[in-house]
Structure 1
């Protein structure tokens, strides 16, 4: 069928509904919940552009996964060129693992674990064992043959099983003193509800990305964002790490426990020039490796 007949409103609704699943796939492909959101946004833009171009599509959901798959691969190629590192490992030993155990193992595997697989293995395991696609649907998304998909799936499952049995090595990342000082000042002002103080830290040209909601430009629009927090009482901020990156963790003090979202702050000297707020993207915090700085959990 033609996407022109599908309707843009229907396509946008499908993108909203599929966004958590698309993110779950590309985050595991990239090994990062944060980068996964960037890839999803890129895929959404490409899908809407293809709609505007009158793309012919038989199965919209598989088509959207194919766009996300290609966007993830493009992202990884760019990252490979930038970092000059991405190792491809090929497993030669294949083990016979039960299907139920494979699904549980893949769903529980960390993003870091998936990065130990080759791209083909990663795609096959995520699409089949995490997202529940059939082998034929997986071939449609990746463009690989059925034989290649079966082999990648089998080898990827074996590698994940080996990684799951290895001892965990989770060390507290390093937080530079200057970064800690600036973040703690921002957190303390926020928690004290001193939003005039927070506004004083924000640059005139600040960029605010409320992930999965809106983007705001400049201090005036950022004030609306801060005003939304000022009206709510179901949050408290703590210092922590998301994927080893210094972050502000958003928790609900009335509930406690795990954070419900996080913020990433970029600075220019003592001014905040960019805020990425993941409060409204719970699928990101669900995928990310998160650590509280000791004593910060509330």
Structure 2
């Protein structure tokens, strides 16, 4: 996460546009684990990029000649935004900052270091939420993203020894959490509403799907402009109607009921998901993660390993 030479506003704006898609998955891996949710993590990533664009405009208006190096700057914005959200939910745990000098930081880690990283990478995103926030941040930055202790200390405004302390305690706690966690995810039955939505889509009944939309329905697709109203959101199904082979199946993700989208019915895993919000039996909000498929790369989906047989809409 080392900073490069500063550049002009125009260069930074061009960099942000050019590197956003490349950097988003890595930002998401960090934010998802910090938030304990792949969905909440993506919300933080989107908010981060919006704030970065606004900040660049403010730099230009204020006449600042140099702006921060892009990558560490975006990570810092994402980190601070995630912490704001965690504080607002009153889930931030207090912890002492003490030192630990026995944490390695080598270019070629020893076998123990490699095992620590493998364990962190394989750990379910939601389990990171059980760690105190600083431990969580340090473990993700070091063991999931492979950042150096020095860069982590700079980002979190800590000493390197403090980073080592948080890392040692976080790793130990994560091992305890993983040892206590259930191995298998339990499939949960689909709600009638979501099962109906999936069945109507699989039957390509676009009018039936449009009839489920609330008058003030909204649709969010990554960083694309928000669509609102039945006319705009209804065109969403027209677009999907031109794509062959898609298959929808109800699934569960982080306690939320979602739609698993298979680009081929025979695929063992979905390509991405949708998340629907309902109000009085009508769809009030659709979040479509088609353009940010990394969101479910590290997610644990239940009930979506195999698409269900095509249902019947009533």
TM-score normalized by the length of structure 1: 0.88
Query: Does the residue aligned with 1:287 lie in a helix, a strand or coil?
Result: coil
2:286 is matched with: 275
Alignment of 1:106-185 (within 5 A): 106-168=120-182, 170=184, 172=186, 180-185=191-196
Task: Structure 1: give runs of 5+ residues left out of the alignment.
Answer: none
CA distance in 2, matches of 1:284, 1:120: 23
- Judging changes above 3 Å, is the alpha-carbon distance between structure 1 residues 89 and 58 closer, same or farther for their aligned structure 2 residues? closer
Q: Compare 179-188 and 16-25 and name the one that shifted more.
A: 179-188
- Judging changes above 3 Å, is the alpha-carbon distance between structure 1 residues 8 and 220 closer, same or farther for their aligned structure 2 residues? same
Query: Does the residue aligned with 2:250 lie in a helix, a strand or coil?
Result: strand
Deviations 1:169-193 (A, max 9, x none): 6553766xxx811111111111100
Task: Structure 2: give runs of 5+ residues left out of the alignment.
Answer: 1-5, 104-110, 310-314
- Correspondence 1:202 to 2:213: yes
Greater helix share, 1 or 2? Answer: 1
- Correspondence 1:226 to 2:240: no
Q: CA deviation at 1:25?
A: 0.3
Q: Compare 26-35 and 133-142 and name the one that shifted more.
A: 133-142
CA distance in 2, matches of 1:33, 1:195: 29
Alignment of 1:211-290 (within 5 A): 211-290=222-301
Task: Provide the aligned C-alpha RMSD in A.
Answer: 2.6
- Correspondence 1:191 to 2:206: no
CA distance in 2, matches of 1:203, 1:23: 31
**Paired residues of 1:33 and 1:284 also in contact (CA < 8 A):** yes
Deviations 1:84-120 (A, max 9, x none): x55557799x897811111111111111221121111
Deviations 1:131-172 (A, max 9, x none): 111111112221222111111112112222233333526553
- Judging changes above 3 Å, is the alpha-carbon distance between structure 1 residues 139 and 73 closer, same or farther for their aligned structure 2 residues? same
**Count of residue correspondences:** 291
**Paired residues of 2:92 and 2:132 also in contact (CA < 8 A):** no
Q: Which runs of 4+ in 1 moved over 6 A?
A: 89-92, 94-97
